[in-house]
Amino acid sequence: MKIWIDADAAPRDVKEVVFRAAKRLSVEAVLVANQRISIPANATTVTMVTVREGADVADRYIVMNSKRGDLVVTADIPLAALLVDKKVDVIDPRGEAYDANNIASRLSMRDFMDQMRGAGMNTEGSRPYGDRDKQAFANTFDRLLTRLLKRAQTDSESESDDGA
């Protein structure tokens, strides 16, 4: 199991929550971005992948390298939709978990708002990232990570039982 972060636009607070969890649980975390992002020296389970410049290059890297059982942190709804289709768990930096039940409506709303902006309408951006968002992220992240780690342990035990 890996934690992937679409790191170009991920808030610092989100990365810090992931760094602490990765260290505490010895889980591999991978930041993917178009530019180098610093990682704390004591974050031994965290790595950085710098992809070449270009639209959606980091997204494509995450889609190609993530798999079921991984957790991806991204605010990018089209990326989230691709990952949900692959059965990869996805959470946004404000703590919303994306799944098969909600991703189509989120993608539809995102596309609608994009069309509105393209037509010249002022749609107001997202509100500033704050303490409530950080707490919501931490709570949902912890819940998803716990579920995925339990699933990985169960899968591992099943594999070792099959081999006995």
Task: Return the domain boundaries, the chain.
Answer: 2-99
Contacts of 40 (CB under 8 A, 6+ apart): 19, 46
pTM for the model stands at 0.85
State residue 98's pLDDT score: 95
Nearest to 93 by CA among 19, 12, 163: 12
Residues 6+ apart with CB under 8 A from 129: 11, 13, 93, 94
The pLDDT of residue 163 is: 59
Amino acid 158: pLDDT: 75
Kindly report the length of the chain.
164
Query: Looking at residue 75, what DSSP letter applies?
Result: S
**CA neighbor of 25 nearest in space, from 41, 47, 3, 40:** 3
pLDDT at 114: 72
In this prediction, residue 112 carries a pLDDT of 61
For the record, the structure tokens of 106 come out as: 């989120």
Amino acid at 25: L
CATH no. for 2-99? 3.40.50
Average pLDDT, consecutive stretches of 10 residues, N- to C-terminus, the chain (164 residues): 94 96 96 92 93 88 96 94 96 95 73 67 76 97 96 80 61
